[in-house]
Structure 1
Amino acid sequence: MLRAILIDDEELALAVLEILLLEIGGVTVVGKFLGISEALEQCADLQPDLIFLDIEMPGTNGLEAAESLLAQCSAAEIIYVTAHHQYAVEAFEANAIGYLLKPVAKDRLAKAVSRYVYLHARDAKRNGELPGKDGKDAGHAGSGKLSLKVLGSMELYNADGRLITWRTKKTKEMFAYLWHHGGTPVYRYHLIDHLWPDTAPDRAQTLFHTTLYNLRKALKSAGCPDMVVFGDERYWMRTERIASDYERLEQLMKKGCQPGDAEELFALYRGDYLEIEHYEWANSRIYDIRTTYVQCLEQALEGASGSVRERLLRKLIELEPYQEKHYDRLKQHLGN
């Protein structure tokens, strides 16, 4: 049985929609609200599968309110219910799964609910998930860590080692940007400025909401539905469930690099930070990591001998090809 909440500033509209859902069957209305604030207070506890949301309400726009609602219950899907047809394009650009015009026709309502069931089953099949006892995907709770590689190129793997694919390049970049900030809240306008610097504001807002939706869906599919958090106009990522190659490299560099760490140092540093993606906002960290890594190799070199010393020197030449001292030391080593 699907769980739904209904949000509309007209009591009659709420009553009619509830009756129609009862007639269709398969949906339980767990909450009815005349305003967004009341819905936000209870949404996290109710954890609905579906949110039926009016667009034009006093002092509130449903398209903007959806963002806050999904921050509270990220596993839910939005179906807009409105008397105005002009918002349809914006609604579907924000990836709503339904757009119903008032008065709501029962057959169209049934199709919208069926669409949720279809998409839910398709996603579960793609990810090899089986329904749990409560009818939800077993993958929603997700207990294992995600594995992230950001040195060289960005690759994210779920707890089972499956590579996570991104619907768009911007979805991938938004993930990288939020993870890059390490759980620090980022204002929405900073996100938009960095990801869509040359896009008109209205278009950038639409792309932002669509990309955020796609990101949440991808993380939900990976078993981490609540990783992107929203509050006070800011977004942040819960990064504690992500183990990254950069964090491991940082651990080695902080403790002091030894010759015995060389193999792991080589394996971890496949390239510069997000080198393949080439995000401009990451440039300062690229330099910092590379500089510290070179210092780490120099430190490991002090006690190294044999093939390990040779590999360390060749890595230093790769990273700093204009530093003559690396060539001189390599010649000296090979001449011994």
Structure 2
Amino acid sequence: MLRVVLIDDERLALIQLESTLRALGSAIVTATYTNPLLALNEASGWDADIIFLDIDMPGMNGMEAAKRLEEICPGSALVFVTAHNSFALEAFEASAQDYLLKPVPRERLSRTIQRIRNRKTAMHQEVKKDSLLIRGFNSIQFERDGVPIRDFRWRTSKSQELFAYLLYYHDRIVVKDKLVELLWPEISLKRASTHLYTAIYQLRQSLKRADIGLVISNASVGEGYMLESGDAQIDFVLWEEGIVSLDPVGDHNASVHEELLKLYTGDFLGDYDYLWAESERQRLRNLSLQHATELADYYTAKENITKAVNTYQRIVELHPYHEPGYLALMEFYNRLGELSFVQEQYEKLRRLLWRDLRLTPSAKVERWYGNWKRLYT
């Protein structure tokens, strides 16, 4: 949900706009103002995604307020809402994202919200040039400008796990006692505290030698540590933010959903046997499967067989025990007349289930495959 602030000296106009936004269900109005000067005084605490503001207001008009808001809230999209169409050029020169005429039709407001949401999602996905990208899907890796940083070395497995835990709780304080209990539960508190201090020192030195601009700071009066992400981007954070911010799959955003599917490259910290990561690993895995299935269902409904097949192939690659994915592929290959591929998908599923789980395919899969086999053999 996008966070929205409304500024208009006409209280009725505020009520109408807030009501329309509430009906759309895609944004939360966190503050409303009839006094632009009061709004500017409180703007630093908003954390707003969109600021809707009138142009013709007493005391300070919308154009003046917009210039100030650009400085105070650089991450917020500005949208002018006015009864006059004569300010459009000036509005866009003031870096407005949109210009709406009162009364604002619901459909027009919906398009504005969607455009800004798509832009924010694209910005989250795009890795800025020269910025640091931290990968946490599968294994921890560092990239700058799309190029892997090869010369980073973990001093010990404990320092690697320490970093992984701080990364998971990035920009939040993790108390020392929690880290000690997690990493050195079998030794005394005094010895474990010494090990923690040494591991933090080694980790800072390794980050510094590899010129990775991350800070591990002492926090809470020395009682904890915090990994400050700064301008760095984290793949599992970007991915989930994209999933949450997008509307359901449709013609207008299917390509963005595809890019998000590509961003999920494997399980959260999947290459490491960290018990503390398992619940988060499973949560993100389930979210990935739900998202990919929705995309596959969309392409199936649109009769876009090529993209549906590609999506289901990705599903079984990421979720190798997901029987509905194999069955969907068997059905599509049958429709395409690729009979050998139908056989291949069934045998792949059967071998995998037996080898890893000592299970056989479900009754639904066996029934479908049995009927198919009687027709073509």
Q: TM-score, normalised by structure 1?
A: 0.52
Task: Show CA shifts across 1:287-323 (max 9, x none).
Answer: 1100111111011112222332112112323444444
1:1-336 to 2 correspondences below 5 Å? 145-157=131-143, 161-163=148-150, 164-221=152-209, 222-224=211-213, 226-232=215-221, 233-254=223-244, 255-256=246-247, 259-261=254-256, 264-304=259-299, 305-336=304-335
Query: Can you give the 5+ residue segments of structure 1 that lack an aligned partner in the other structure?
Result: 1-142
Query: Alignment identity in percent?
Result: 26
Which structure carries more relative contact order (alpha carbon 8 Å, separation 6+)?
A: 1
Rounded Cα–Cα distance in structure 2 between residues aligned with 1:225 and 1:329: 44
Question: Which amino acid in the other structure matches residue 317 of structure 1?
Answer: V
Compared CA separation, residues 294 and 205, structure 1 to 2 (3 A): same
Compared CA separation, residues 280 and 331, structure 1 to 2 (3 A): same
Moved more, 172-181 or 157-166: 157-166
Question: Which amino acid in the other structure matches residue 324 of structure 2?
Answer: K
Tell me which residue corresponds to 1:12: none
Q: TM-score, normalised by structure 2?
A: 0.47
Rounded Cα–Cα distance in structure 1 between residues aligned with 2:203 and 2:220: 17
Query: Can you give the 5+ residue segments of structure 2 that lack an aligned partner in the other structure?
Result: 1-128, 336-377
Question: Which amino acid in the other structure matches residue 192 of structure 1?
Answer: V
The answer to whether the Cα contact below 8 Å between 1:148 and 1:155 also exists between their aligned partners in 2 is yes
Compared CA separation, residues 264 and 199, structure 1 to 2 (3 A): farther
Compared CA separation, residues 158 and 189, structure 1 to 2 (3 A): farther
The count of corresponding residues between Structure 1 and Structure 2 is 194
Compared CA separation, residues 144 and 280, structure 1 to 2 (3 A): same
Instruction: Supply the RMSD in Å over aligned alpha carbons.
Output: 2.5
Rounded Cα–Cα distance in structure 2 between residues aligned with 1:324 and 1:198: 42
Rounded Cα–Cα distance in structure 2 between residues aligned with 1:158 and 1:317: 31
Task: Show CA shifts across 1:142-196 (max 9, x none).
Answer: x953211111111123567523222222222211111111211111010111122
Task: Show CA shifts across 1:205-247 (max 9, x none).
Answer: 2211110101111233325364433333121111233212212
The answer to whether the Cα contact below 8 Å between 1:183 and 1:239 also exists between their aligned partners in 2 is yes
